């Protein structure tokens, strides 16, 4: 029994031992397998990742080239590709009070010292404002748009709290040049006033903003026009000045200036009276510059066929009003003499013969009864004489006053388009600020016959060669044009001392290419203008200085041996002097 039990016990012990060994072996194998599987898994994972990295993963910057170079707002250039407005990541000066840690003084020196140092770098800054900002302990802009060298000087102050973040801003490299055409962009990135406002959707459109918008302006001509206008304005102590250079064949505005102007880089200083555009928005009675239009209408209608016919120069008394001239030009004048001496009386008589309906029709064909046709948002509505009856027909006196540019107020741009039609063969075209492809010049509408236009070219040239526009006669440029000095209306009639002096010209008269208009608002008689305040003494010299500067740039070569042939009209001119 005992033996049996003992042997049984041994037998079980063996069995147990065998099974233990078996189990241990299995466990070990399982563990090895698990570890192996783990290693294999890790290796596989590493391999897969390696393959993935090697095959598919690319550089971290996934932005495409075009995307990276796309400006946040499209560029505006002139007709030669000179940038006038572009998105530019310029430096700004930011005060970060936490640059030196949360606690303690944010500045190394005292706020007053720092403000004083900043004042030396930016003399136009406000000292008190700077000190207040530096003391406030809040982060704020001390200045927007800082030049790199100014940033270097600020950096040299050794204040870590003064930082220079680069921010995308609108930048106008030419400063205040063509500011009235371009307009400005405010701090919210919204365009105002000029083409910035008009082109807003186009400049922000991701599909289009990569290509710059080409304007018709020529920055060199614009610079010359602004420069000479400013000089003329200062010499005559005028309140303001306006000027325009227009391509007579395409209607492209080559230069457009309104003074005083503003700097679009300082949008915070774009005040209303500076932003105001005198060329397209302000209407003026432009006076005698209308006379060539009246004469052209009369020649065109066959009312004036013989230019030697003489008209009496006695003052006219019509409907209780008297039309008189500035000077006495003798007993009678013919049409060329009337233009040369700028006679209201003779022009009124010609207009009377022409009749109100025809003159009105001509003025309407020249779009004098509508806002000027240009892309700018600010366009003034003319003061158009509505006539005395329901049909709007003009009375005799209205016809006569309109004939010499009174009783009708239009913008200088209206006048420029009308003069372009006068000299380019008789076709009126809308003015545009976009560069026009020579193959797609608008057809325009015919207002005058080509023969009339040729005659007017002769007459305008004679006015500059022998008449009131002599100071505009730039040597070799064959300038032709007409002066106009209109009194400004005030309380109880016209003010004798407040004039609008205009000179409307075109050059070269043998084949006109450009119309140039210079206008001065309320010029005074000064030593520089020989004490005179009329256009012959202040506006005409401006044109006389602008034309030689812009002519060669615009492809008009001065030539002393060439001119429009006025030999058939010369014998009609007497020796009288006039203004």
Partner 1 sequence: MILSAQRLRSIGWLALLAVCGALVMILSFRVNALRSQVHRAEGQIVALKQQKMYLETEFETRANQQQLKAWNDLEFGYVAPVAGQYLENERQLAVLSKPAEPDAPAPIRVATVDDSVIAAAAFPALSGDHPAVRPLSETHEAESDDAGAGKPRSRPLDHAQATATLAEKLGTLHAATTHTVAARDEKREKHDKTTAKHTASVEKAASKASREVVARTKAGTKSARADARDGKGGTDKAKAKAKPPVKTAQKSARGDRKTGVKTSR
Which CB sits closer to partner 1, 218 or 466? 218
Find all residues with CB under 8 Å of 173, minimum gap 6, and list them: 83, 84, 86
- Does residue 57 belong to the site contacting partner 1 (CB under 8 A)? yes
Is the previous residue joined to 40 through a cis bond, with omega within 30 degrees of 0?
no
By CB under 8 A, name the one of 1, 2, 4, 68 that touches partner 1: 68
Minimum distance, C-beta of residue 247 to partner 1, in the bound complex (Å):
20
- Does residue 558 belong to the site contacting partner 1 (CB under 8 A)? yes
Minimum distance, C-beta of residue 549 to partner 1, in the bound complex (Å):
5
Which CB sits closer to partner 1, 376 or 547? 547
Tokens of 442: 């608008």
By CB under 8 A, name the one of 120, 552, 570, 576 that touches partner 1: 552
- Does residue 549 belong to the site contacting partner 1 (CB under 8 A)? yes
By CB under 8 A, name the one of 150, 163, 167, 227 that touches partner 1: 227
Q: Which stretch binds partner 1 (CB under 8 A): 239-247, 356-364, 390-398, 544-552?
A: 544-552
Q: Which stretch binds partner 1 (CB under 8 A): 16-24, 65-73, 236-244, 398-406?
A: 65-73
Binding to partner 1 (CB under 8 A) within 85-124 occurs at 86, 88
Minimum distance, C-beta of residue 175 to partner 1, in the bound complex (Å):
6
Catalytic residue among 288, 343, 403, 453: 288
- Does residue 219 belong to the site contacting partner 1 (CB under 8 A)? yes
Tokens of 171: 């930048």
Which CB sits closer to partner 1, 52 or 308? 52
Q: Which stretch binds partner 1 (CB under 8 A): 81-89, 287-295, 330-338, 440-448?
A: 81-89
Minimum distance, C-beta of residue 527 to partner 1, in the bound complex (Å):
21
CB 569 within 8 A of CB 336: yes
By CB under 8 A, name the one of 234, 557, 570, 576 that touches partner 1: 557
Which CB sits closer to partner 1, 177 or 374? 177
By CB under 8 A, name the one of 92, 142, 170, 176 that touches partner 1: 176
- Does residue 177 belong to the site contacting partner 1 (CB under 8 A)? yes
Q: Annotate 501-546 with DSSP letters as a single string.
A: EEEEEEE-TTS--EEEEEEEES----TTTTT--SHHHHHHHHHHHH
Minimum distance, C-beta of residue 508 to partner 1, in the bound complex (Å):
11
Minimum distance, C-beta of residue 55 to partner 1, in the bound complex (Å):
5
Q: Which stretch binds partner 1 (CB under 8 A): 115-123, 151-159, 216-224, 427-435?
A: 216-224
CB 155 within 8 A of CB 76: no
Segment (H or E) for 109 = none
By CB under 8 A, name the one of 74, 111, 223, 481 that touches partner 1: 223
Q: Which stretch binds partner 1 (CB under 8 A): 383-391, 427-435, 507-515, 549-557?
A: 549-557
- Does residue 69 belong to the site contacting partner 1 (CB under 8 A)? yes
By CB under 8 A, name the one of 559, 565, 568, 577 that touches partner 1: 559
- Does residue 61 belong to the site contacting partner 1 (CB under 8 A)? yes
- Does residue 565 belong to the site contacting partner 1 (CB under 8 A)? no
- Does residue 531 belong to the site contacting partner 1 (CB under 8 A)? no
CB 292 within 8 A of CB 468: no
How many beta carbons lie within 10 A of that of residue 454, not counting itself?
Answer: 15
> By three-state DSSP, how is residue 457 classified?
helix
Q: Annotate 32-58 with DSSP letters as a single string.
A: HHHHHHHHHHHHHHHHHHHHHHHHT--
Q: Annotate 311-361 with DSSP letters as a single string.
A: EE-SPEEETTEEE--SS---SEEEHHHHHHHT-HHHHHHHHHHH-HHHHHH
- Does residue 484 belong to the site contacting partner 1 (CB under 8 A)? no
- Does residue 555 belong to the site contacting partner 1 (CB under 8 A)? no
Minimum distance, C-beta of residue 160 to partner 1, in the bound complex (Å):
25
The yes-or-no answer on residue 288 being catalytic is yes
Q: Annotate 254-309 with DSSP letters as a single string.
A: EEEEEES---TT-GGG--HHHH--TTTT--B--GGGGHHHHHHHHHHTTS---TT-
By CB under 8 A, name the one of 110, 136, 152, 475 that touches partner 1: 475
**b/e map 538-555, b = 16+ CB within 10 Å:** bbbbbbbbbbbbbbeebe
Tokens of 275: 């932003």
Angle between helices 450-466 and 291-300 (to 10 degrees): 140
Which CB sits closer to partner 1, 226 or 466? 226
The Cα–Cα gap between 557 and 412 comes to 27
Annotate each residue in 13-52 with x if it binds partner 1 (CB under 8 A) or - if it does not, as one string. Answer: --------------------------------------x-
**b/e map 161-196, b = 16+ CB within 10 Å:** bbbbeeeebbbbebebbbbbbbbbbeeeeebbbbbb
For the chain, what is the radius of gyration of the CA atoms?
39
- Does residue 58 belong to the site contacting partner 1 (CB under 8 A)? yes
- Does residue 168 belong to the site contacting partner 1 (CB under 8 A)? no
Tokens of 242: 């306006």
- Does residue 201 belong to the site contacting partner 1 (CB under 8 A)? no
> By three-state DSSP, how is residue 95 classified?
strand
The Cα–Cα gap between 560 and 279 comes to 32
By CB under 8 A, name the one of 122, 171, 276, 381 that touches partner 1: 171
**Nearest residue to 252 via CA among 221, 284, 226:** 221
Residue ranges of E strands in 115-171: 140-146, 162-163, 166-171
- Does residue 65 belong to the site contacting partner 1 (CB under 8 A)? yes
Q: Which stretch binds partner 1 (CB under 8 A): 126-134, 174-182, 358-366, 427-435?
A: 174-182
- Size of site (CB under 8 A) for partner 1: 39
Minimum distance, C-beta of residue 265 to partner 1, in the bound complex (Å):
10
Find all residues with CB under 8 Å of 424, minimum gap 6, and list them: 248, 249, 453, 512
Cα–chain-centroid distance for residue 542? 21
Annotated catalytic residues are 288
Residues lying near partner 1 in the complex (CB under 8 A) are found at: 51, 54-59, 61, 64-65, 68-69, 82-83, 86, 88, 148, 171, 173-177, 219-220, 222-223, 226-227, 475-476, 548-549, 551-552, 557-560
């Amino acid at each position: 029994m005992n033996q049996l039990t003992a042997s049984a016990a041994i037998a079980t012990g063996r069995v147990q031992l065998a099974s233990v060994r078996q189990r241990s072996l299995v466990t070990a194998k399982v563990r090895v397998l698990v570890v192996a599987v783990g290693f294999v898994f890790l290796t596989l994972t590493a391999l897969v990742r390696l393959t993935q990295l090697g095959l598919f993963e690319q550089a971290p910057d996934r932005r495409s080239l075009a995307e990276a170079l796309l400006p946040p707002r499209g560029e505006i250039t002139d007709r030669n590709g000179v940038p006038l407005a572009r998105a530019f990541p310029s430096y700004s000066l930011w005060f970060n009070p936490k640059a030196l840690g949360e606690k303690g003084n944010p500045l190394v020196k005292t706020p007053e010292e720092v403000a004083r140092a900043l004042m030396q770098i930016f003399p136009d800054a406000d000292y008190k404002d700077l000190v207040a900002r530096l003391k406030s302990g809040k982060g704020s802009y001390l200045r927007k748009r800082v030049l790199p060298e100014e940033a270097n000087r600020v950096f040299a102050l050794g204040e870590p709290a003064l930082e220079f973040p680069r921010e995308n801003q609108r930048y106008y490299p030419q400063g205040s040049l063509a500011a009235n055409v371009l307009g400005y962009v405010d701090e919210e990135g919204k365009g105002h006033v000029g083409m910035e406002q008009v082109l807003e959707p186009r400049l922000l459109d991701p599909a289009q903003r990569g290509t710059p918008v080409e304007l018709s302006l020529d920055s060199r001509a614009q610079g010359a026009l602004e420069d000479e206008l400013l000089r003329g304005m200062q010499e005559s102590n005028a309140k303001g000045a306006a000027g325009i250079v227009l391509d007579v064949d395409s209607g492209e505005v080559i230069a457009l200036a309104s003074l005083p102007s503003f700097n679009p880089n300082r949008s915070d200083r774009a005040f209303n009276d500076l932003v105001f555009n005198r060329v397209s928005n302000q209407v003026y009675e432009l006076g005698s510059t209308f006379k060539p239009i009246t004469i052209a209408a009369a020649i065109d209608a066959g009312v004036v066929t013989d230019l030697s016919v003489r008209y009496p120069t006695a003052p006219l008394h019509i409907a209780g009003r008297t039309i008189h001239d500035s000077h006495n030009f003798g007993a009678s004048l013919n049409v060329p003499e009337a233009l040369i001496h700028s006679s209201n009386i003779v022009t009124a008589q010609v207009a009377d013969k022409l009749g109100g309906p025809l003159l009105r029709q001509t003025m309407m064909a020249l779009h004098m009864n509508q806002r000027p046709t240009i892309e700018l948002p600010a366009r003034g509505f003319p003061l158009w004489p509505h006539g005395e009856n329901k049909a709007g027909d003009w009375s005799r006196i209205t016809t006569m006053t309109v004939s010499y540019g009174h009783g009708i107020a239009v913008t200088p741009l209206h006048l420029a388009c009308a003069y372009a039609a006068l000299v380019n063969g008789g076709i009126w075209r809308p003015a545009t600020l976009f560069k026009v492809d020579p193959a797609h010049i608008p057809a325009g509408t015919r207002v005058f016959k080509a023969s009339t236009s040729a005659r007017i070219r002769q007459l305008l040239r004679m006015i500059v060669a022998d008449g009131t526009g002599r100071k505009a006669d730039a040597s070799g440029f064959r300038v032709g044009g007409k002066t106009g000095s209109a009194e400004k209306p005030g309380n109880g009639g016209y003010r004798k001392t407040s004039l609008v002096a205009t000179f409307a010209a075109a050059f070269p008269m043998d084949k006109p290419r450009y119309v140039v208009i210079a206008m001065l608002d309320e010029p005074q008689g000064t030593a520089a203008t020989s004490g005179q305040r009329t256009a012959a003494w202040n506006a005409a010299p401006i044109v006389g200085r602008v034309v030689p500067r812009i002519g060669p740039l615009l492809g008009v070569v001065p030539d002393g041996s060439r001119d429009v042939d006025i030999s058939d009209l010369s014998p009609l001119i007497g020796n009288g002097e006039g203004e």
